[in-house]
Each structure stands twice: as C-alpha cells, then as structure tokens.
Amino acid sequence: MHAHDAVVTLWFVNTDDPAAVLAKEPKANRGFGRKYLALMNPSWPISVFGQFPLNRSVQASKGEFYIAGYPGITVVQTVVEELTCLSQLSPTLLNSVPAHNTYAFATNPDTGFGGIAHWIDGKLRRSFCARRNRVYEDIGLPSPFESPFWAGERGETSPHSIDLPFEPIDLVHEADKHWLGVDISAEGPDLSVVGYAIDGRKEPRVVAPPERNDVGALIDNASAKLGLGPQYSEYDDYEDTPDDNTETPVANRARSLADGALKFTARSLKQASTALNNVREKLRHTDRS
C-alpha cells in the first residue's frame, strides 16, 4: 500500500441500535454485494473470492471490496488511493447507500495514518485524520470518547514535542466501538462479509462435495454385486430343506469364502467412510487467514 493510500471502512446505519444488530452476528448475502457494486459501476468485472468475518481477516487490498448488508446496516471496506482527508471521500462511495448516520474509519498501518468521520443525513459533523506527527484534517468538535486521547492518557508519550499525544490508529479503534456500540476487533462478534474483486481475476472454482453414502447402503450394494443376501434365496433349491449337516467340503469352502468376502467389503467401506469424514472435517475448519 502506498504512503497516502488507506483502507477505508464505511458503515451506513439506519437503525437506532446498531450494537443489537451486530451482536446477533448476521450473515452476509452474496447477491447484495454484487448488486451494490453493479450499481456503483456497471463496467466492473465482479468476482466473489470468499466469505469470512471482517474482524478476523486481513484487510481488503487494492481492487477488492468487503461488503455486507445487515438489517438497517451496510458495511463496505476497500482501499482508497491518495487519501488524507475523509471529508474528500468520493461522493460515489460516500453516497452509495442512503443512511441517517454514516461512519468512516481509515487506516494505513505502514505509516500510522488513522482517520475517523461521521455524517448525519449527509452533513459532515466530525472528521479527524492524522499521522502522529501531522494532522491532515480536524473538523468539528471532538466527541467525549476522544478526551482521554487528547489528555495524553492513552498511549505512550512521544519523544518529539510536536507529535500528537496518541496514535491516530488507536483513536480509530476507540471510535468504532463508541459509534457502533460493539468491539470491531477480533475479540468482538463475528461480522460476516463477502469478498469481491473488481480487478478482473477469475472467481475461484468451488467443487461440490461428493454425496454422502450410508455405510449400510454401500454394504447392501456390495452384497448384491456378490450375489449374497436373502433376496437371492429363491435361487437356492435347498433353502427350506432341513439342515442335516451333509454339506460337502466344497460347499463349506465356498460359503466360508463368501462370508469372508462380505466381511472384508464391509470393513473396507467403513474405513473409507471414516477417512472421507476426517477430510471433510478438516476442510470445514479451514478458514481464510
């Protein structure tokens, strides 16, 4: 990421209690983000590359959008180039979703840049964007949650007298907790989003999982192929005759081989089923890091 680029997360809020909505860990819908991006720019080649928690994944990169639509809330994260003042965000992005409250959070971990902004019905009420050694924008009155930062009570003191008494990125993390009412870090609730690319990359191929086969059904099928089982009794001329223990050694050997084959088939199928389930379980726990 270039020096003046930033990862921007926008929250479009039309509910009086966003914390209650986010605490329920709602799931993102892939169709919502596709429609959102298509309306923003119909010429973009949109592809989906995953679904994951916003607060437990790496941030979006250039050419990517993380999007989710929850009841009364829309969240969008993307990289904005050459951004130092949130008040100058592109109207296309800022007004992409009508909202009573719009919150923006911007960070560049490489430079220490952090920015926060709040609009009410489209009017900017507060924007602060800075690195520790330079303030780019300071519009509106500081919110009460900012006071400990300005008082030097949050963060280590800088050896340079002209530096801010806090790290701007720390202020960003405090702002999202205050404005949204929940912890947006990895310690908070899952915030499901869908990842979209607009840079022309191909959508990852999703291989459908094989159908789950019941072990009993597999055994019955194998038995049928071997010609074993009660359904074939009509072909045995001696099925209903009393057992007089007069089977020949050859018959005994044939029956023994048949029983052994059936047991081997059942054991092999059970082992294969167990191995398949183990693989599925590992894949299920694999997540995007």
pLDDT (tens place) for every residue of the chain, 289 residues total = 888 999 999 999 999 999 999 999 999 999 999 999 999 999 999 999 999 999 999 999 999 999 999 999 999 999 999 999 999 999 999 999 999 999 999 999 999 999 999 999 999 999 999 999 999 999 999 999 999 999 999 877 766 668 999 999 999 999 999 999 999 999 999 999 999 999 999 888 755 555 555 556 655 665 555 555 555 444 444 444 444 444 555 555 555 655 665 566 556 656 666 665 664 555 555 554 4
- 130 and 241 fall within a common domain: no
- 185 and 222 fall within a common domain: no
User: Is 207 a domain residue?
Assistant: no
Order the strands of the 134-139 sheet from edge to edge: 47-53, 192-197, 64-70, 73-80, 6-13, 101-108, 113-120, 123-131, 134-139
- 73 and 151 fall within a common domain: yes
In 139-248, alpha helices (H): 147-150, 168-180, 215-226
Give me the amino acid identity at 145.
Answer: F
- 165 and 232 fall within a common domain: no
User: Is 209 a domain residue?
Assistant: no
The angle subtended at Cα 94 by Cα 62 and Cα 170, nearest 5°, is 65
Paired tokens of 136: 């780019």
User: Is 210 a domain residue?
Assistant: no
pLDDT for the residue 156: 74
Residue with tokens 């092999």: 268
DSSP-assigned letter for residue 42: T
Choosing from 197, 227, 252, the residue where a domain stops is 197
Q: Which of 90, 81, 77 is nearest to 12 (CA)?
A: 77
- 248 and 116 fall within a common domain: no
pLDDT for the residue 204: 80
User: Is 105 a domain residue?
Assistant: yes
pLDDT for the residue 95: 97
Decide: helix, strand or coil at residue 211.
coil
Give me the domain span that covers residue 161.
Answer: 6-197
- 177 and 247 fall within a common domain: no
In 90-235, alpha helices (H): 91-94, 147-150, 168-180, 215-226
Phi first, then psi, for residue 53 (nearest 5°) are -75, 130
pLDDT for the residue 203: 84
Choosing from 163, 197, 231, the residue where a domain stops is 197
Those residues with Cβ within 8 angstroms of residue 170's Cβ, 6 or more apart along the chain or in another chain? 114, 149, 154, 155
pLDDT for the residue 114: 98
- 185 and 261 fall within a common domain: no
Choosing from 197, 225, 241, the residue where a domain stops is 197
pLDDT for the residue 194: 98
Q: How distant is the alpha carbon of residue 147 from its chain centre?
A: 34
- 148 and 23 fall within a common domain: yes
8 A C-beta contact, residue 182 and residue 190: no
Phi first, then psi, for residue 54 (nearest 5°) are -60, -40
User: Is 208 a domain residue?
Assistant: no
The angle subtended at Cα 198 by Cα 196 and Cα 200, nearest 5°, is 115
User: Is 97 a domain residue?
Assistant: yes
User: Is 205 a domain residue?
Assistant: no
- 259 and 125 fall within a common domain: no
- 73 and 150 fall within a common domain: yes
- 141 and 241 fall within a common domain: no
- 142 and 245 fall within a common domain: no
Report the domain count for the chain: 2
